[in-house]
Amino acid sequence: MTGKRLISWLFLGSQLLISAETIFAAPPKSFEVSDVAASSSCEGKYIILKMDDLRVKENNNLSQSWLAYISKVKELNIKSSMGLIVEEVTKGAAPFNTELMSLHKDERFEVWHHGWDHKRRNLLPKKDNLGEFAGTPYEYQYDHLQKGIVYARDVLGIEFLTVGTPYNKSDETFVKVLHQHPSLKVWLYCQDESFSGLCLKRGPSNHLEDPIGRVSYTSFLTAYASSIHPYLVLQGHPDMWDKESFAQFEKVIGYLKRHKACFVLPSEYYRIRKG
């Protein structure tokens, strides 16, 4: 084969690859409002599953517990959002990153910004910071929020639309920093109603897990009964779940389905409320 022919074959190959990517790529999560009418009426409550702490674990991928949770969501035909600690992406774990990318493209899942490193650093001047976005300086918070957004976009191709702070702790500095990143539209367990996006609160007695890491059907029933909003955001940590927690989780989902709940992703609920 001549050099010229080889080049033209290579060119053709790259064109085919590009068009295959275009055809098979899932539509990005966005705020197009075409499906608003169809999903804006729900007979029961809107349920948002807020699952925290995606990290790199065994075999440079998600842990077995996380993978079991993802399978369970598919099996139960529901939807779930998951909070990524973005620094994990920098650890160079290709299987983990690939898994995240395919999850976010899947219409049943949404990956969101759960901080850069999730750490309490006890920084000066107060030495009493409660979390990454509470009690820490403005520059620190801006940097952590910003680089989380940039890494997810550049390395994973994920445009974060939702944020939830580590330990659900925030301060007035965080609200300021958040408003400087208007691409973040939804705040899970929002603590400040001045947030111009969608402020989804925890509400009283809202615990899917009791204690943290163990799903409790009884605790969920209290959360459901005390919920004063048309939505309920249920928080969990699947990495900590054992068999019993998975069984309790199924019981919770069964109850919600019997009560005609609608499982939505945070970005989807944004469209319903603000679209």
Residues that bind Zn ion (CB under 5 A): 52-53, 166
CB of 75 to Zn ion, least distance (A): 25
Between 170 and 272, CB nearer to Zn ion: 170
**Total residue count of the chain as it appears in this document:** 275
CB of 42 to Zn ion, least distance (A): 28
Choose among 133, 130, 129: nearest CA to 148.
133
Three-class DSSP category at 56: coil
Between 65 and 256, CB nearer to Zn ion: 65
Between 105 and 120, CB nearer to Zn ion: 120
Between 67 and 240, CB nearer to Zn ion: 240
Euclidean distance between the first and the last CA atom of the chain, given in angstroms as a whole number: 56
Say how far apart CA 275 and CA 270 lie, in whole Å: 7
Instruction: Please give the backbone phi and psi of residue 244, each rounded to the nearest 5 degrees, phi first.
Output: -65, -40
With tokens 């989807």, the residue in question is: 268
Q: Specify whether the CB–CB gap between 200 and 187 falls below 8 A.
A: yes
Choose among 242, 222, 241: nearest CA to 232.
222
Between 51 and 156, CB nearer to Zn ion: 51
Angle, CA 215 vertex, CA 213 and CA 217 arms, to 5°: 160
Q: Specify whether the CB–CB gap between 206 and 239 falls below 8 A.
A: no
Instruction: Please give the backbone phi and psi of residue 266, each rounded to the nearest 5 degrees, phi first.
Output: -55, -45
Between 49 and 256, CB nearer to Zn ion: 49
Between 189 and 263, CB nearer to Zn ion: 189
CB of 166 to Zn ion, least distance (A): 5
DSSP-derived pairing of the beta strands 262-263 and 80-84: unpaired
The two tokens of residue 102 are 């395919």
CB of 231 to Zn ion, least distance (A): 21
CB of 173 to Zn ion, least distance (A): 19
CB of 52 to Zn ion, least distance (A): 4
CB of 90 to Zn ion, least distance (A): 18
